């Protein structure tokens, strides 16, 4: 599972940061998911190693334009040039469907693949054999949802060398043992699968909270996550702006990380105001969060973070 930040600015693009989008590559499945899709996301993808043809799902946190206005152009380009023919599903607030239908219709945009729009109706947004996606309502000026991508626990590794040392012939018996079954060997020995399979490997958990001011719902959603990506529009010194716009300071984001006991915090969605004096203010942003939660990183456009298996 590899995260790539495609837009890390809040509100408007800056000279070095585009508006919000996060890509999640599910390497094993060979698919690409996006979280939010600000204007210019297709341009960012074109400048990255990501491929639009692999796009399978886009999850929208809320309906503000800096998280939304890139979607129709991206879908159209996937159809025209991106080589995509597989279906794409969009998940988001109820108004998403109206936005998508209206823009497709008024612009006479036809797509070469099926498009589904799935309004968020429940905390469980999506589930398959390997993953589930959950959401929680956060606290912003309009309804805004955080998302958790939760990998299901994986069976432990089968200890091939131990099996060979026991003289078990390679082949179908290995499959049975991997599944936890017991077998009787021709020489009469009984072998229990459980003895040859390592401990269950817990799945990974990635959580994305944006836009929001500090809320216990974010803590609940992010509980024990491997990675929490949290907006940090402002520095604590500008907390009054954060409260007015219902955004977070770096300190608020770090508090969520600390209370949720996550492993890693990545901050994003920075106000362009701090770029004017990029070294100082962005350094302050990191220092402010690390005082509360040391294992914090600042996202930047095109930065990738590989979420290691537990």
Window 39-78: residues binding a second copy (CB under 8 A): 39-40, 42-43, 46-47, 63-66, 68-70, 72-73, 76-77
My answer on whether omega of the bond before 211 falls inside 30° of 0, hence cis, is yes
Backbone angles phi, psi at 255, to 5 degrees: -65, -40
CB of 82 to a second copy, least distance (A): 8
245 binds a second copy (CB under 8 A): no
Instruction: Report CA 46 to chain centroid distance, whole Å.
Output: 20
Cβ atoms of 103 and 70 closer than 8 Å: no
Report the residue number, 76 or 227, with the smaller CB distance to a second copy. 76
* Burial label, 59 (beta-carbon count in 10 A; 0-12, 13-18, 19+): buried
Nearest approach, Cβ of residue 231 and a second copy (Å)? 16
66 is catalytic: yes
Q: What's the min distance (Å) between Cβ of 55 and a second copy?
A: 15
- If one asks whether residue 142 binds a second copy (CB under 8 A), the answer comes out as yes
* Nearer of residues 81 and 123 to a second copy, judged by Cβ: 81
If the CB atoms of residues 14 and 296 are measured against a second copy, the closer one turns out to be 14
Are 52 and 31 spatial neighbours (Cβ–Cβ below 8 Å)? no
Nearer Cβ to a second copy (151/301): 301
Span from 23-31, 92-100, 168-176, 234-242 in contact with a second copy (CB under 8 A): 92-100
Edge to edge, the sheet with strand 227-231 lists 124-127, 131-137, 145-151, 205-209, 227-231, 264-268, 296-298
Q: Which of 30, 81, 119, 237 binds a second copy (CB under 8 A)?
A: 81
99 is a site residue for a second copy (CB under 8 A): yes
User: According to CB under 8 A, which one of 29, 31, 95, 159 is a site residue for a second copy?
Assistant: 95
| Nearer Cβ to a second copy (103/154) | 103
Q: Select from 211, 65, 230 the least CA-distant residue to 140.
A: 211
Q: Mark residues 278-307: x for contact with a second copy by CB under 8 A, - for none.
A: ------------------------------
The reply on whether position 106 binds a second copy by CB under 8 A is yes
Rounded least distance, CB 277 to a second copy, Å? 16
The site string for a second copy over 12-41 (x = CB under 8 A, - otherwise) reads xxxx--xx------------------xxx-
203 Cβ partners below 8 Å, 6+ apart?
131, 150, 151, 152, 153, 154, 310
Residue among 63 and 223 whose Cβ is closer to a second copy: 63
- How far apart CA 138 and CA 216 sit, in angstroms, is 9
> Could you give the residue numbers annotated as active site?
66
Residues that bind a second copy (CB under 8 A): 11-15, 18-19, 38-40, 42-43, 46-47, 63-66, 68-70, 72-73, 76-77, 80-81, 95-96, 98-99, 102-103, 106-109, 141-142, 272
């Amino acid at each position: 599972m590899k995260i790539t930040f495609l837009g890390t600015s809040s509100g408007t693009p800056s000279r070095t940061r585009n508006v919000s989008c996060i890509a999640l590559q599910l390497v094993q499945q060979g698919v690409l998911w996006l979280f939010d899709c600000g204007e210019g996301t297709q341009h960012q993808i074109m400048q990255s190693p990501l491929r639009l043809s692999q796009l399978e799902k886009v999850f929208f946190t809320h309906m503000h334009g800096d998280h939304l206005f890139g979607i129709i152009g991206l879908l159209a380009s996937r159809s025209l040039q991106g080589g995509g023919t597989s279906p794409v599903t969009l998940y988001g607030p109820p108004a998403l469907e109206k936005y998508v239908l209206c823009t497709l219709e008024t612009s006479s945009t036809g797509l070469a693949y099926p498009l589904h729009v799935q309004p968020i109706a429940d905390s469980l947004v999506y589930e398959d054999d390997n993953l589930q996606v959950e959401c929680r309502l956060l606290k912003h000026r309009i309804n805004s949802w955080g998302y958790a991508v939760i990998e299901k626990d994986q069976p432990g590794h089968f200890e091939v060398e131990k099996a060979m040392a026991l003289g078990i012939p390679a082949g179908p018996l290995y499959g049975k043992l991997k599944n936890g079954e017991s077998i009787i060997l021709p020489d009469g020995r009984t072998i229990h699968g459980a003895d040859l399979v390592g401990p269950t490997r817990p799945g990974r958990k990635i959580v994305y909270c944006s836009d929001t001011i500090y809320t216990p719902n974010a803590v609940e959603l992010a509980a024990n996550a491997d990675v929490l990506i949290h907006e940090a529009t402002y520095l604590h010194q500008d907390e009054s702006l954060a409260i007015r716009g219902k955004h977070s300071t770096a300190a608020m984001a770090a508090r969520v990380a600390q209370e949720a006991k996550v492993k890693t915090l990545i901050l994003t969605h920075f106000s362009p105001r701090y770029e004017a004096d990029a070294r100082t203010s962005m350094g302050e942003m990191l220092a402010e969060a690390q005082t509360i939660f040391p294992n914090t990183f600042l996202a930047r456009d095109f930065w990738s973070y590989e979420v290691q298996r537990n």
